[in-house]
Structure 1
Amino acid sequence: MIYGMLRHGETQWNVDKRIQGQTEHPLSDLGRQQARAWGRALAGQGWRRILVSDLDRAVETAALINESLRLPVTPDPRLREQDWGQWVGRTVKELCEEIPDLVQEQEQHGWEFRPPGGESRTEVLARVLASLADHALNDGGSPCLVVAHKGALKCLAYHCLGWTFLPHEPDPLKPQRLHRFAWTSVNGEGRLAILNLNEHLEPARA
């Protein structure tokens, strides 16, 4: 089946470059405009359901997209952003200035990067893959739009690319793009593969 995956719209903490983790923040006015525009762009593409993180910024994004699509919406907490523990509310710049050695040490852990009191990227990947597997099994393979978070989407992309999550690897995801993945079952084992990263979201012309 096909998953079309989006990050939620902009929040004020995104603008401020603050780590949100699993805390709740509403969309900014621009974030709401983005979501409505994405809905118009995604109309008529054959989507059958919206699968969404249960955090408010993702739920609000999905609801605004759904003003155009009018689809069933299924929330799933397994699609949440990475839990950033004690680093929530901080900026990366602040952390690098105040605790540079700890930040550098964690960056070298790659997939096992874990903010103090938070979760690792390996754990994020496991729960997101479990969500996609369950949906693929239970929904008959219908194309599904997924609204989630940057950390969750990066884990899926790095997993499919076979990357290590070390600092020398560039971020493969551009902002405000649709990312298409295919879920297939081989010998009873589910596998995820990238079809297209960074697809432009441009509303269809009338």
Structure 2
Amino acid sequence: MTDRVPGRRRVVLWRHGQTAWNVERRFQGKTDIPLDDTGVQQAHSSARLLAGLRPTALLASPLQRAADTAQALAKVTGLPVRHDKDLIERDGGAWEGLTNREIRDRYPAEYAQWQPPGGETSAQVAKRVGAALERALDDLPPDGLLVVASHGAALRLGMSHLLGLPEEVWERLGGLSNCCWSVLGEMRDGGWRLVEHNAGTLPEPVLSDDRTENGT
């Protein structure tokens, strides 16, 4: 909890558009993979919808798949995009670049715990991303709406941090599909309420670095 003046702030947590590695079911992590043609189209389509919410600030991970997604909304709204390195995706360690099947076959024990060797823990990601979100929200006026373009696991875990959820229930929040978003609204006590989750134009499969993509 911070000392900011309570208001009606909202934050939209927006996952980046599709990449070739999403389609191939490769763990991307902090590897800087660009949007594919479908991802570019998704970003522009979603941006037109999100512009209707009248955002007042844009923030993004500096990885190009998220930064380019945010830029699509910047073009529609005229708002500048700020970047925060603490919004990058979970460090996947030895898993980065591997397909889901390769991870399962080569690292069965780690796969069962969804803990990449040499990578970050879920708790580390939640703390890192949650702190980045808190910093941005401290700068938001009481009636402001912040859109954050980031990554599937990073956003789900950062969202869990903001909501104050204990780690044992984090997996109960499903993953975000490409270019879908969740909305959190500020409560009277300065805490946060989940208003929408995995919203978008049409339901799409979740192709992510997040454990919840497989329903496990």
User: What is the RMSD of the two structures over their aligned residues, measured on CA atoms?
Assistant: 2.2
CA distance in 1, matches of 2:159, 2:49: 23
Equivalent residue number for residue 124 of structure 1: 125
Contact 1:42 1:201 in 2 (8 A): no
Equivalent residue number for residue 4 of structure 2: none
Equivalent residue number for residue 140 of structure 1: 141
Equivalent residue number for residue 185 of structure 2: 182
Give the total of aligned pairs: 190
Contact 2:60 2:150 in 1 (8 A): yes
CA distance in 2, matches of 1:195, 1:138: 21
TM-score, L = length of structure 1: 0.83
The amino acid across from 1:140 in the alignment is P
For the pair 1:164 / 2:157, whether they are aligned, the reply is no
Equivalent residue number for residue 152 of structure 2: 150
For the pair 1:79 / 2:80, whether they are aligned, the reply is no
Q: 1:174 to 1:58 in 2, by over 3 A?
A: closer
Q: Tell me, which stretches of 5 or more residues in structure 2 are unaligned?
A: 1-8, 203-216
Equivalent residue number for residue 192 of structure 1: 192
> Runs in 1 of length 4+ with deviation above 6 angstroms?
none
Contact 2:61 2:86 in 1 (8 A): yes
Q: Which of 42, 47, 50 is the aligned partner of 1:39?
A: 47
What displacement does 1:191 show?
Answer: 3.5
Contact 2:57 2:146 in 1 (8 A): yes
* Secondary structure, counterpart of 1:27 in structure 2: coil
Q: Which has the higher strand share?
A: 1
Percent sequence identity over aligned pairs: 33
For the pair 1:94 / 2:76, whether they are aligned, the reply is no
What displacement does 1:162 show?
Answer: 4.4
